[in-house]
Chain A
Amino acid sequence: MTFIVTLAHFCEVHGPSMVMCTQAVGPGELLSKYYGSGIPDSQLCESCRLKIPKQSTEEMPDPSTVETKSKVNDSMYISTQFPTSQHRYSSLRHIIMRVFTIEISSSTNQPLIFGDARAGYSMALLFKIFDSTARGSERKYSIIVTSDKEDDIFANYSLILLNLSKTVEYIISKSMQVMEKAGKNNDNNDVYLRRSAGVPKTKSLVTIMDDESFFVRLHLLASSLLEELRC
């Protein structure tokens, strides 16, 4: 049973992009094979980047991987921006493309389930975060759970769906709180005249959520879901 949890984003600059993917590494596998190498800043914008808290004291390259040991078995859960396996990468790219540009959903709080024998089988929950600085005042994200077995996705439907919807619910409500708080402190009237004046077009979820460790927390959530799925 293999599951991958992915956070995807429809970037204003780059289109559908992968922000973070969490995989389970079995006890017999080489851990370093899954470690993602650092990607130069020039290649990714603020919105697409996986931002992991840096170590302040020592001189080390920016961390590009988050890992957690499972409590119930010997697995490790590893989150990187992209999976190191070429096959998984192309599958996830394909799935993200489909989620943002092809499939439609009657309402955003309903999951989308799709799959084929090439890319695997996925359940995706789309969500939009209100942001006045974004194009159309909203930023589109999706959390996707992908399995290589069609039956596994269906067998764990309610577990995956509940986890996804709770996470999405939290992210939306927290972002609203942050937005309201920022709005109160903001007395820059320029925004009424020129929306783009002085505000960045790309914005990381870390900023939106006002939490430096947001991606680490998301990694922990994804890890616990993988743990519950017995990965």
Chain B
Amino acid sequence: MYNQRHHYRHPTTYSSDSSIADDSRGPLNTSTSVSLYGTDSKPPSPTFRISDKLQCFRLVVIQDGGLRNKQTLYDSALGLSGASPNCPGSNLYQKLNKSIYHSMNELAAYMFGYYGILMSESHCITKIHYLPTLPWMPSSVLITRLFSLDPTFESIKRSTPSVSTSTNNSKADDWKPSPSVKFPGSPAHENMSTRFSIGIVIPVGSSIVSMEEEVMDNWSEISNQLVSIQQIVTEKLKKASFPQTSRRSMNINAHSVHGSHSFTQIGSITNTLLSRKLNFASYFLQTDQDLSQQFQGLVRSICSLVETPRLFVALKESNQALIDWASAVASWLELKDGRFFTADPTSPSSDKLSSKPSLKFLARLFCIFMGVRRQILENPLNRSRKKAVRVVIVTGNPIVSQKLVFILAGLLGYDKYVVTTNMEVRRGYEDSVTTRSSAKSDVQSTAVNTLNSSDNPMSFTSTQVIPISIKREMSSHISSSDSSISPASPSSKSNVSSTTKGWKVPAKVAPLTSSSPTVQSLSNVKAERISIPQPRRESSYMSLQNLSTSYGGSHPSTLTSSSSWRGALHFGSFLERWKVGTFAPQHSFANSAVDLTPSPPTEYDEYPWNGNASGNSAYQTALQEASSSSPCSGATTPTIAEIKDFGASAIPGNGSTRINSAFNKIYHNYVAKQKFEIERTTTRLLPKDNEESLAISDKLTGIMNCNLSFSYSKHENISVLSVDNVNLGVDTTIIEPPVTNKLPPLVGYTERYVPEFSLMSCTQTSGLETSIFESMADDVCRMGTTSVSDTYVISLRQREVRLIEAKYPVSDHESFSSSPMSTSFQRNMEKSKLTHDLQRSNLRPKVTLLFSPFLQEKFMQDLVEDVDVGEVSSIDKFDATLNEISQLINRFFCSQSKDGSQHDNGTFQNRDSSSSGTFGNSDGARIDGDDLDEQTCCDKLRGLIETLLD
């Protein structure tokens, strides 16, 4: 019956898959969950999981043939297969699962009214009824759209009663009812009209929140869909009502739709048509493909709207989110834009930071989106607006795009993602360092479980997850006789061949780093070059960057080499790969690390920087390879001796930068002392338990029991009683309207492009552009004249930002404005094909390239000025602030590591006391007492973000 069921599930399945992935990481994902969604430990779930009840959705179309005579024209519960409109009385139509579906008579009673009293119903009526409980569907609502058609299918716009019976009073009346979706006219011949109704049954949870989440919050989308269904039904009935032979009359009628002048000229035809009311056979539309397609679209749309968790990046509220955000910005700038930072203000490298040639991808993105920030946070389907803006991040790698989504959403929604007093928030503060350390080691020790599938479990034991790990690993590489490390570490024992095998990827990446423009121009070249190839395997962020091919220098060879590598691995569905990766036995990971894309759980949070033995030893190998393969860059490549020196913490000067970079890596899993967690569902922030209900009860009791003081006054012949509500003696504070609890339509990774969201990342598919164009065409149809729909497509693979603009056509087609129907439907209409093509050509979207690394800077400047997305100077300003943010967070990690190393000294003593001592000394010498505690750092970061937003 429901062949498409699996199809429906698809988006949902994905989201649950991703939640499984998140769950599988356990506490490791804590910071991600906190940062992206504001919840602890697991991603938010909807109040009512609608995807479990997909079969309960139902669409019915009923014709009113008079009292006790209602014909069902379409019922999705019966399905398409086997339905034969020629035998409406067949038993097939009687077979309805009564435990899921209400009887048609019952539904008809709700839709048309119980008593069959006919009122003058010329307008489209919308209704919502709660349906009685069924065994398999405890709670559901019926959304009805009732409309009338007359045999001529003409519609006229009737004047409202206020105009016709205008008095002095009603002239100034502001009572102008307006529907969510404007629909023109009502039947011209009211007395000959037949009523039709479209009913959609939606399963809901029993709570008010569930009803709000599913129906009320998505009302604009639901009413859009209802209008589309009504248009399809009207067109189908019209087609059937006028046989092919009387096409002429149909054409005439088509012209007379919006004006009644031609009506008198074709009076005779109309009279013939009006001789009898419309009456269609039962199940007349049952086999209609368009209708079922539209219905599926509606179900899919509601599902993704309800079940896709929306972002809540509470930078203002949560220190954890802020630190994660700043750290993500820092790593993006470092890894993606090719910047390098030092935490040490005295370091000579900091002076050269500004003069460094590098991409300003992130700065430019911010610059572009600052102007449309408000629009992005609004619902793109809102009809009352004149501009819809969407941002689509296209990539083959959800992890990288998720990071960018996180960065963008944090900044764009900085003022929006706030909590109000009526929300349920858990805050706390952990004061003791030991708690924090243990929390940290908890996180890290779970990393052991999660990362066991990689080839190096030992490096993740809780005692070894510390700032000194790099040094420790270095030393372990040097002296493999260290008993506490070597037995468990395959890589410390590994011979050259095994490491080389594991290093195939980075080896191919080596030219990339050596051709980086940042390398030659700086004195601290070695540090930069080290920081890039370091990640590997279990910290496979690096390899994924190569997969996305967005990482690396701006040299074209980067893309070429990465792409070929990607091709050679037959990199297919990302999902398949990481599923395999998650469940792959340990040995397979170790042996085929290059062939498998490691699972996101092991890398999502993990930038390359949980320094470990294999990573470093491998990276040394990579350096060896790099130096041998590209001798010209040998001069800037650190020698093994230097690395050894670094391992022994004996590198003077620029060594600090490396360590700082390592801090960032190690402290990426930093657990903030300030705890913040909010109660939420996928789309809303939940109010405090019963607070609203209690407040209303208090108010009611107060008003009902207080002593009222009256005062009387007289106006002409009218006596007026004035009652004051200030001195009621009860707390009648105004409750915040619950609408503020709804989260803006910004989401993370979705499997397909979902036009309902204004910020999302999705995979590059062949139909993506078409879907974007279609949704934009729908937007402008919906919003009407002078409306604009913009979509910013960020392609991480090409590192391009394109702006697609669609404007409402200037040469206004009357038919176009009156029929903003779904494109899928338009495609299926034979006679409107020409019109449709014309509309499409009018709607041809304009595509502008806003950013590309391959374009000359000068050209880019011209482009940027043309489209008015900000001046170059403001990009520099953004860039400078971003740099400051990165430096600040690095400095914070640095000072934390100092604290950490002091506190954790005892832990290290057993393992390698001398190294921790040396580390502490070298560190202390460079940080020059500029300690940052969490709150200070966060306050400073917030200050910087506010300057960005100004």
What is the interface of chain A, defined by CB distance below 8 A to chain B? 2, 32-33, 35-38, 52-53, 55, 58, 60-69, 71-72, 84-88, 90-91, 94, 97-98, 101-107, 110-121, 148-151, 154-159, 161-163, 166-167, 170, 174, 213, 216-217, 219-221, 223-224, 227-230
A62 CA to B719 CA, complexed, in Å? 6
Q: Which residue on A lies nearest to B220, using beta carbons?
A: A151
Residues of A within 8 A of B174 (CB): 2, 148
What is the interface of chain B, defined by CB distance below 8 A to chain A? 109-110, 113-115, 117, 119, 121-132, 160-162, 165, 167, 169-170, 173-180, 208-209, 211-212, 215-216, 219-220, 223, 384, 692-693, 696-697, 699-701, 703-704, 708, 710, 712, 714-726, 728, 732, 734-735, 737-739
Q: With A68-B723, A84-B169 given, name 8 new contacts (CB 8 A).
A: A72-B734, A103-B113, A114-B125, A115-B126, A149-B178, A150-B179, A156-B738, A157-B212
* Set A61, A66, A98, A104: member contacting B110, Cβ < 8 A: A104
If A85-B173, A167-B700 touch, whether A114 touches B719 (CB-CB below 8 Å) is: no
Task: Decide: A116 and B723 in contact? CB cutoff 8 A.
Answer: no
* Set A37, A120, A216: member contacting B175, Cβ < 8 A: A120
* Set A35, A69, A166: member contacting B700, Cβ < 8 A: A166
Residues of A within 8 A of B115 (CB): 101-102
CB distance from B335 to the nearest CB of A (A): 43
If A67-B720, A71-B726 touch, whether A106 touches B132 (CB-CB below 8 Å) is: yes
Task: Decide: A103 and B114 in contact? CB cutoff 8 A.
Answer: yes
If A63-B712, A102-B119, A162-B692 touch, whether A68 touches B719 (CB-CB below 8 Å) is: no
Task: Decide: A230 and B169 in contact? CB cutoff 8 A.
Answer: no
A64 CA to B716 CA, complexed, in Å? 12
If A37-B718, A87-B175 touch, whether A162 touches B693 (CB-CB below 8 Å) is: yes
CB distance from A145 to the nearest CB of B (A): 14
A105 CA to B715 CA, complexed, in Å? 42
Residues of B within 8 A of A221 (CB): 699-700, 703
Q: Which residue on A lies nearest to B699, using beta carbons?
A: A224
* Set A36, A60, A61, A113: member contacting B128, Cβ < 8 A: A113
A213 CA to B717 CA, complexed, in Å? 22
* Set B114, B169, B738, B739: member contacting A104, Cβ < 8 A: B114
CB distance from A94 to the nearest CB of B (A): 7
Task: Decide: A157 and B211 in contact? CB cutoff 8 A.
Answer: yes
Q: Which residue on B lies nearest to A171, using beta carbons?
A: B704
If A38-B718, A154-B219, A155-B739 touch, whether A55 touches B128 (CB-CB below 8 Å) is: no
Task: Decide: A97 and B119 in contact? CB cutoff 8 A.
Answer: yes
A104 CA to B109 CA, complexed, in Å? 8
Q: Which residue on B lies nearest to A151, using beta carbons?
A: B180
Q: Which residue on A lies nearest to B124, using beta carbons?
A: A116
Task: Decide: A170 and B704 in contact? CB cutoff 8 A.
Answer: yes
* Set A64, A65, A69, A158: member contacting B212, Cβ < 8 A: A158
A162 CA to B110 CA, complexed, in Å? 24
Residues of A within 8 A of B734 (CB): 72, 227-228
Residues of B within 8 A of A86 (CB): 161-162, 165, 167, 169-170
Task: Decide: B725 and A68 in contact? CB cutoff 8 A.
Answer: yes
A116 CA to B185 CA, complexed, in Å? 12
Task: Decide: A148 and B169 in contact? CB cutoff 8 A.
Answer: no
Q: Which residue on A lies nearest to B181, using beta carbons?
A: A150
Task: Decide: A106 and B723 in contact? CB cutoff 8 A.
Answer: no
A151 CA to B383 CA, complexed, in Å? 11
- Per CB-CB distance, the 4 closest pairs between chain A and chain B, nearest first, are A102-B113, A87-B162, A110-B130, A116-B123
Task: Decide: A87 and B737 in contact? CB cutoff 8 A.
Answer: no
CB distance from A25 to the nearest CB of B (A): 11
If A118-B177, A150-B179 touch, whether A66 touches B721 (CB-CB below 8 Å) is: yes
Residues of A within 8 A of B703 (CB): 217, 220-221, 224
List 25 A–B pairs whose Cβ atoms lie within 8 Å, in order of A's numbering.
Answer: A36-B718, A63-B712, A65-B718, A66-B721, A68-B724, A71-B732, A86-B161, A86-B167, A86-B169, A87-B161, A102-B113, A102-B114, A104-B129, A106-B132, A107-B130, A110-B130, A116-B124, A120-B175, A148-B174, A148-B178, A154-B180, A216-B710, A220-B725, A224-B732, A228-B735
